[in-house]
């Protein structure tokens, strides 16, 4: 469960996110969309406890992120758009390291199917420098999933993945949501949102302009027209330009 109340993030006089409130229940996948610079990545980083918010409250799996950051972080996983890995640790050593941080006693049993699923088993003993970008992305995903998080944040999760990887990633997100995870997914790929998300939140200049199920958001911006595409809705909601 993700509960956000009046989240605001300011950089000096610039407000990146303003008064954002949202709730993602177990089993829901929220698609976070908006033009470039709308505040999507800032929002995700605030929710994952990477950067401090200026005001507002965030609760992750029942833990207040400000008061109990450790408890909150134990339940979440953040998947950045750019895979950042430890250059000197092999794939297997990354999993070993993360297992120790999260205290995953049975990590070897857990990591085996994960590596198989993400097609990393054959690369288990190589360093990140020898992996393609897509493979690095998969390793980040494997590390994030190792402790079975109940809250997941994906920032452009399909970047760098091949078609098969994209399909597996989508299936994986949907499956984990069905198993009870709360997911927020930020992406420019509107078809991904249509396929994966149960809810959509549109941000513009750090302010929420639409929030609800896909059907609700469609209804809000379709102006009574039938068969309006999500792309058209997005353009209407955001004014068709960058923030």
Given the rule CB under 8 A, which residues bind another protein?
11, 42, 45, 48-52, 69-74, 76-78, 80, 84-90, 93, 96-97, 99-108, 125-127, 129
Closer by beta carbon to another protein, 106 or else 225: 106
CB of 84 to another protein, least distance (A): 5
Measuring CA to CA, how many Å separate 54 from each of 62, 145, 189? 21, 29, 29
Closest alpha carbon to 61 in 26, 87, 31: 26
Cβ atoms of 173 and 19 within 8 Å: the answer is: no
Task: Determine the Cα–Cα distance for residues 159 and 31; give it in Å rounded to an integer.
Answer: 16
Closer by beta carbon to another protein, 75 or else 177: 75
Those residues whose C-beta lies under 8 Å from the C-beta of residue 26, and which sit 6 or more positions away, are 1, 150, 180, 181, 182
CB of 202 to another protein, least distance (A): 22
CB of 199 to another protein, least distance (A): 23
Neighbours of 9 (CB within 10 A): 22
Residue 3 pairs in a beta bridge with 23, 59
Widest CA span of the chain, in angstroms? Answer: 57
Closer by beta carbon to another protein, 105 or else 226: 105
CB of 219 to another protein, least distance (A): 36
Closer by beta carbon to another protein, 19 or else 71: 71
CB of 217 to another protein, least distance (A): 29
Closer by beta carbon to another protein, 108 or else 162: 108
């Amino acid at each position: 469960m993700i509960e956000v109340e009046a989240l605001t993030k300011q950089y000096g006089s610039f407000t990146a996110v303003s008064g954002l409130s949202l709730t993602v229940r177990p089993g829901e996948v929220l698609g976070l969309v908006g033009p470039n610079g709308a505040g999507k990545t800032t929002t995700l980083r605030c929710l994952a406890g990477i950067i401090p918010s200026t005001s507002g409250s965030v609760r992750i799996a029942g833990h207040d992120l400000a008061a109990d950051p450790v408890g909150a972080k134990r339940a979440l996983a953040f998947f950045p758009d750019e895979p950042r890995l430890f250059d000197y640790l092999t794939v297997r050593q990354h999993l070993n390291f993360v297992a120790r941080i999260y205290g995953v006693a049975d990590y070897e049993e857990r990591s085996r199917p994960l590596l198989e699923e993400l097609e990393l088993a054959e690369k288990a003993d190589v360093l990140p420098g020898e992996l393609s970008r897509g493979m690095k992305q998969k390793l980040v995903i494997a590390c994030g999933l190792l402790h079975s998080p109940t809250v997941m944040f994906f920032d452009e999760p399909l970047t760098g993945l091949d078609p098969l990887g994209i399909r597996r990633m989508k299936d994986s997100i949907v499956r984990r949501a069905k198993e009870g995870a709360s997911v927020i997914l930020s992406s420019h790929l509107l078809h991904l949102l249509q396929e994966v998300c149960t809810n959509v939140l549109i941000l513009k200049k750090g302010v929420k302009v639409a929030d609800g199920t896909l059907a609700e958001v469609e209804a809000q911006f379709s102006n009574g027209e039938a068969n309006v595409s999500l792309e058209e809705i997005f353009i209407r909601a955001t004014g068709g330009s960058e923030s």
